[in-house]
Structure 1
Amino acid sequence: MASPLRFRRSTERWTDDRIERDIYEPLDGKFGAQLLTPHYVGPSGYRTRRIEMGNGDLALFAWSDDEAFWLGNTETPSALWRTEKYTFDEIPYQVARWAQRELLADLQVEDPWLAEYDHLSWFFLPVLFSKDGSDSSRKFFREHAMGFPDAARDEALSFYDRFLSTGVLDDHRYEMASKLGTSPQVDPVRMASAMSEFTGAKVLTDAGYEVTPEIEVTTGHSLDFQATPEEGNGSEAPLVEITRPRPPTRRHADTPTAAVRETAETKTSGQLQKHGGGAVLFVDCSGFRDDEWAAVRGEQPSVRHRPAVVFRARPSGRIEGYREGALPLDLGGAIDWV
């Protein structure tokens, strides 16, 4: 399975002749390719080329007197095999901006319903144009409402676009976008679980906390977030781990409350138990239908971990839930307690 889209950087000398010989001709021989002028003028000091393959793959190439950058969701030519890979944030801004404009223009033609959500489509570009995950990620957004049941596609896209437009996760874009995965098959359960991390981040930021993802702990694994108060410091920043129960219609548990208990128990008897306590457990029930959440809301089952928050978000932005134990977070501005 290929990883999310990244650049390769070369410090060798490149010319038109070499690009045609070492980049274009191998791709043309294998896939059938066209060497084209890009949609947009390249960054100052760089020359650019666009290569479109007969199988739908794409590659972009930008080069100057000192360096060259390759970005492609196709087979990498052997001349670039020994080059290092870099994310969009790790290369010169003007090169990254040019490449992203190219990709977003393609998305506007291929999937205009997705491209209209500017920040969401920009944020997930490394996955939306990845070699293996392009089709599956777009299908998840299109047909599974990003994990919301009984919701229209555009409602779900708007929910996450509004949150991502705040920019609070921009510094962690590649790390967070990559959580969606690049499998060629759509896995609605796993992909919805990945979106729960975005929902959890929304809860924390709406409550006024700065979130930092993937916090390594002494047990050798990572917890999802550290939540730092706006005027606090690291010693006052609780760790948060998020889990997402599968609704009873999609698992062996025969009731919504049993689904909540079982999922929380799996998390607390494993990762959180090894951590030794202290972390806040978020149980995201956003995948539950109205009737399933009503059962959980009415019974408020214990999740055998304290502190914990059990909540459900809707694309409208309304989030309601209940808590267990002494919560080291003030979430009153983000969750309607029931």
Structure 2
Amino acid sequence: MARPIRFRHAPGRWTEDRVVGQIYRDLDRNLGAIRRRPWFKQPDRYRGERFEMDNGDIALFLWNDEEAYWLGNTETPEALWRTDKYSFDAVPNDVSRWATRELTAQLHEETPWLEPYPHLSWFFLPVFLSKDGRETTRQFFDEHAAGFPDATREEALEFYETFLRTRVLDPWREVMAGKLGTSEYLDLTRMTAAMGEFNAGHLLVEAGYEITPEIEVSTGHAIDYRAEEPDSEAVLVEVTRPTPMGKRRAGTPVAAVRDTAATKSDGQLEEHGGGVVLFVDCSSFPDDEWQSVIAERPEVYHRPAVVFRLRPDGHVEGYTKGSVPLTLPF
């Protein structure tokens, strides 16, 4: 599976002849390419290029006498194969801003229903414009409401736009957006599980906690979040998300909760040896399945644990098991 779209940096002197010979002709020979002027003014110290391929791929190229930056969701020209890759945050600000404007305009031209959600568009831009995932990631929000059952696309988009607009996850955009994946095959289970981490983040932020994702621990794992509030000890949170019964071969919603939590408890959390709160996100469950869970409040083979269901209007229900060191709205 390819990674989110990233820049390539090519030090050295670039000229018109080199751009044509090593970039444009390579692209045109392999894919069929048109060289166009950028849609937006490039940074003053660079010349800017926009390459559009016959198969719908695009690439951006900035160059001058000292260096070049490439960003594309297409085959990389051979001249750039051995260049280093960088995230949007790791290149000069004016380079990143220009490329973001170009790609966002491309995204909204191709997918106009994303335009009313600017921060979500920006946050997931590295996967929305990725080489292999640009179809499936947009389809996930469009046709599957980002994993919310019985919800419209607009309801799901507005919910995540509102949460992401808090900017609490901005410093970790590449890793968090990358959790959605960049596969050309739609994997609803994996993508929905990824959004469970955003749901848990929303729940913690709404409860007044400052969150930091991807906390490395001594076992070599990364725990999903550290949650903190002033004058209190930090709490580690790991998230899992059961699959609703409509996507499972057998069993009950209660069994789905138990089985999914047990998989996490018997693996990563068992190796960690305690000190982690397990969040079980049941937001994929339709009303009837969730009601059977909340009525029985099953054990999840790990304590402390939080079992919850979030709706895109912000309504949340849940229960806890064990001594949960967090103040939550249920």
Q: Same fold (TM over 0.5)?
A: yes
Is it true that 1:280 corresponds to 2:282 in the alignment? Answer: no
Is it true that 1:108 corresponds to 2:108 in the alignment? Answer: yes
Question: Which residue in the other structure is 1:248 paired with?
Answer: 245
Q: CA deviation at 1:11?
A: 1.0
Q: CA deviation at 1:256?
A: 1.2
Q: CA contact under 8 A between 1:200 and 1:282: conserved in structure 2?
A: yes
Q: Give the whole-Å Cα distance in 1 for the aligned partners of 2:308 and 2:249.
A: 21
Gaps of 5+ in 1: none
Q: Give the whole-Å Cα distance in 1 for the aligned partners of 2:63 and 2:318.
A: 53
Q: CA deviation at 1:255?
A: 1.6
Q: Give the whole-Å Cα distance in 2 for the aligned partners of 1:32 and 1:64.
A: 25
1:149 aligned counterpart, secondary structure? coil
2:320 aligned counterpart, secondary structure? strand
Task: After superposition, give the CA deviation of every residue in 1:147-198 in whole Å (9 maximum; x if it has no partner).
Answer: 0011111101111110001100000000100000111000111100000001
Is it true that 1:5 corresponds to 2:27 in the alignment? Answer: no
Q: CA contact under 8 A between 1:5 and 1:129: conserved in structure 2?
A: yes
Question: Which residue in the other structure is 1:237 paired with?
Answer: 234
Q: CA deviation at 1:253?
A: 4.4
**What letter matches 1:80 in structure 2?**
L
2:155 aligned counterpart, secondary structure? helix
Question: Which residue in the other structure is 2:172 paired with?
Answer: 172
Q: CA contact under 8 A between 1:253 and 1:259: conserved in structure 2?
A: no
**What letter matches 1:245 in structure 2?**
P
2:130 aligned counterpart, secondary structure? coil
Please say which of residues 146-155 and 59-68 is displaced more in the overlay: 59-68
Q: Give the whole-Å Cα distance in 2 for the aligned partners of 1:254 and 1:301.
A: 14
Is it true that 1:325 corresponds to 2:322 in the alignment? Answer: yes
1:144 aligned counterpart, secondary structure? helix
Q: CA contact under 8 A between 1:148 and 1:315: conserved in structure 2?
A: yes
5 Å-filtered alignment, 1:134-173, equals 134-173=134-173
Q: CA deviation at 1:64?
A: 3.0
5 Å-filtered alignment, 1:40-79, equals 40-79=40-79
Q: Give the whole-Å Cα distance in 1 for the aligned partners of 2:270 and 2:140.
A: 33
Q: Give the whole-Å Cα distance in 2 for the aligned partners of 1:208 and 1:28.
A: 53
Q: Give the whole-Å Cα distance in 1 for the aligned partners of 2:95 and 2:47.
A: 10
Q: Give the whole-Å Cα distance in 2 for the aligned partners of 1:99 and 1:154.
A: 27
**What letter matches 2:278 in structure 1?**
L
Identity, % of aligned pairs? 59
5 Å-filtered alignment, 1:125-140, equals 125-140=125-140
1:24 aligned counterpart, secondary structure? helix
1:167 aligned counterpart, secondary structure? coil
Q: CA contact under 8 A between 1:159 and 1:317: conserved in structure 2?
A: yes
Q: CA contact under 8 A between 2:14 and 2:66: conserved in structure 1?
A: no
Gaps of 5+ in 2: none
Question: Which residue in the other structure is 2:39 paired with?
Answer: 39
> What TM-score, normalized to structure 2?
0.98
**What letter matches 1:204 in structure 2?**
L
2:8 aligned counterpart, secondary structure? strand
Q: CA deviation at 1:232?
A: 4.1
Q: Give the whole-Å Cα distance in 2 for the aligned partners of 1:253 and 1:90.
A: 47
Q: Give the whole-Å Cα distance in 1 for the aligned partners of 2:210 and 2:24.
A: 46
Q: CA deviation at 1:44?
A: 2.3
Q: CA deviation at 1:66?
A: 2.7
Q: Give the whole-Å Cα distance in 1 for the aligned partners of 2:225 and 2:317.
A: 20
Question: Which residue in the other structure is 2:308 paired with?
Answer: 311
**What letter matches 1:27 in structure 2?**
L
Q: Give the whole-Å Cα distance in 2 for the aligned partners of 1:166 and 1:43.
A: 29
Q: Give the whole-Å Cα distance in 1 for the aligned partners of 2:141 and 2:85.
A: 27
Q: CA deviation at 1:65?
A: 3.2
> What TM-score, normalized to structure 1?
0.95
Is it true that 1:260 corresponds to 2:257 in the alignment? Answer: yes
Q: Give the whole-Å Cα distance in 1 for the aligned partners of 2:183 and 2:33.
A: 25
